[in-house]
């Protein structure tokens, strides 16, 4: 998801999306452990999206 789109979302929406991405990351790790992982590029995408959301949640809100 684009960073511009993430900035428009509320903190609660971001937290829900973060939880969903963590579940996806867990499932990817389980697939890798079982030897079923063929699309390794998903690891990088999920890690990047988690980092973006955590960064946005940690930033102070602008008051305008």
Q: Chain centroid to CA 15: how far? A: 9
> Mind listing the pLDDT tens digit of every residue in the chain (64 residues)?
788 898 899 999 999 999 999 999 999 999 988 888 778 889 999 999 999 999 999 988 765 5
Residue 63 is predicted with a pLDDT of 59
Residue 43 is predicted with a pLDDT of 92
Residue 39 is predicted with a pLDDT of 82
- Measured CA to CA, the distance from residue 16 to residue 34 in angstroms comes to 27
HSE-CB for 21 with a 13 A CA cutoff: 20
Which domains does the chain possess? Answer: 3-58 (1.10.287)
Please tell me what DSSP assigns to residue 40: T
Residue 61 is predicted with a pLDDT of 73
- Measured CA to CA, the distance from residue 14 to residue 20 in angstroms comes to 10
DSSP states of 20-35 as a string? HHHHHHHHHHHHHHHT
Q: What is the pTM of this model?
A: 0.83
């Amino acid at each position: 998801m684009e960073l511009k789109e993430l900035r428009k979302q509320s903190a609660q929406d971001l937290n829900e999306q973060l939880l969903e991405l963590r579940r996806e990351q867990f499932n990817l790790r389980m697939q890798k452990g079982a030897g079923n992982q063929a699309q390794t590029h998903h690891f990088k995408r999920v890690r990047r999206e988690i980092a973006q959301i955590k960064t946005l949640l940690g930033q102070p809100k602008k008051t305008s």
